[in-house]
């Protein structure tokens, strides 16, 4: 007898449903949303699982990695496809969603998604944190420009290094503005310092990565772009060919527009020569 499991994950608890190959419910439970708790429940010798369905979500990468290490045949499934399947249910609940996902595993009606490796997840976290610090520092700089503009003080074109000196020069002799600008400049300085710390870490990763160094031989590709592309692709072998990379990155519309443009231009040239 084959058994299939469906997991409906929330932040604190996960609803679990195990069914057999005939669709009969064999076990239902709620456990904490932690890989060890789920593995303890699902690793039952009396219910050898063929597939374990896990909907893609905020905790899916962590739970997937933990259950895979525990030897469970876990599959991360696409969210929109799962939502369309579960929409047919009359009553929407965590318990019913777990039952629906288990049925999807049984009838093999699901769309698996790639779960990135732990290394790629760490690289993405670094890139996201670096970008966040950079955006906050730029936001403070723009707010400072806007505040001073109300008093007729124009910062003008100034680089990151000389920005602090330029602001202090403008508010010199205005004690009230000095008191306002000082905390903002101090916050900006802290953000810039933290940003450079993460940026140096990024440069060290790129320096020791052969794939990133090879990507940087392309004109216009720097350390940030190369690491972002490297972490997004993750495992190149998961793509059947190079044409499958574009749709995976959401570039289907861009490719279709350029294909039409290329076809039109070629057609025009051909029409002019005949």
Per-residue model confidence (pLDDT) at position 111 = 87
Per-residue model confidence (pLDDT) at position 270 = 37
Question: Is the same domain home to 199 and 229?
Answer: yes
Per-residue model confidence (pLDDT) at position 253 = 61
Q: Which of 107, 136, 171 is the last residue of a domain?
A: 107
Q: Which phi and psi (to 5°) does residue 63 adopt?
A: -65, -40
Question: Is the same domain home to 60 and 130?
Answer: no
Per-residue model confidence (pLDDT) at position 124 = 94
Give 237-273 pLDDT, tens digit per residue: 888 888 888 877 777 665 555 554 554 443 343 333 3
* Percent of the chain at pLDDT exceeding 90: 66
> Mean pLDDT, the chain, as a whole number?
88
Give 183-232 pLDDT, tens digit per residue: 999 999 999 999 999 999 999 999 999 999 999 999 999 999 999 999 99
Question: Is the same domain home to 27 and 127?
Answer: no
The model's pTM is: 0.76
Per-residue model confidence (pLDDT) at position 257 = 53
Per-residue model confidence (pLDDT) at position 213 = 95
Domain holding 23, by residue range, is 3-107
Question: Is the same domain home to 125 and 227?
Answer: yes
User: How many independent structural domains does the chain possess?
Assistant: 2
Question: Is the same domain home to 86 and 138?
Answer: no
Question: Is the same domain home to 96 and 135?
Answer: no
Residue 245 located in a structural domain = no
Give 63-81 pLDDT, tens digit per residue: 999 999 999 999 999 888 8
């Amino acid at each position: 007898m084959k058994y299939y499991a469906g997991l409906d994950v929330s932040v604190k608890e996960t609803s679990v449903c195990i069914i057999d190959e005939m669709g009969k419910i064999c076990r239902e439970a709620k456990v904490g949303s932690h890989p060890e708790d789920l593995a303890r429940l699902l690793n039952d010798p009396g219910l050898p699982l063929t597939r374990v369905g896990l909907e893609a979500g905020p905790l899916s990468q962590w739970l997937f990695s933990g259950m895979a290490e525990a030897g469970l045949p876990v599959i991360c499934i696409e969210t929109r496809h799962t939502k369309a399947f579960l929409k047919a249910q009359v009553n929407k609940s965590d318990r019913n969603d777990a039952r629906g996902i288990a049925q999807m595993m049984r009838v093999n009606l699901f769309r698996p998604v790639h779960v990135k490796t732990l290394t790629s997840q760490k690289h993405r976290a670094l890139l996201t944190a670096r970008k966040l610090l950079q955006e906050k520092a730029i936001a403070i700089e723009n707010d400072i420009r806007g505040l001073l503009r109300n008093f007729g003080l124009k910062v003008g074109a100034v680089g990151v290094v000389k920005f602090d000196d330029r602001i202090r020069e403008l508010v010199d002799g205005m004690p009230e503005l000095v008191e306002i600008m000082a905390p903002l400049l101090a916050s900006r300085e802290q953000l810039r310092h933290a940003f450079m710390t993460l940026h140096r870490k990024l440069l060290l990763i790129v320096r020791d990565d052969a794939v990133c160094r090879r990507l940087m031989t392309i004109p216009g590709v720097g350390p940030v772009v190369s690491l972002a592309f490297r972490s997004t692709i993750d495992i190149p072998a998961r793509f059947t060919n190079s044409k499958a990379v574009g749709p995976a990155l959401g570039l289907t519309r861009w490719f279709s527009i350029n294909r039409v443009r290329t076809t039109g231009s070629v057609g025009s040239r051909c029409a002019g020569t005949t």
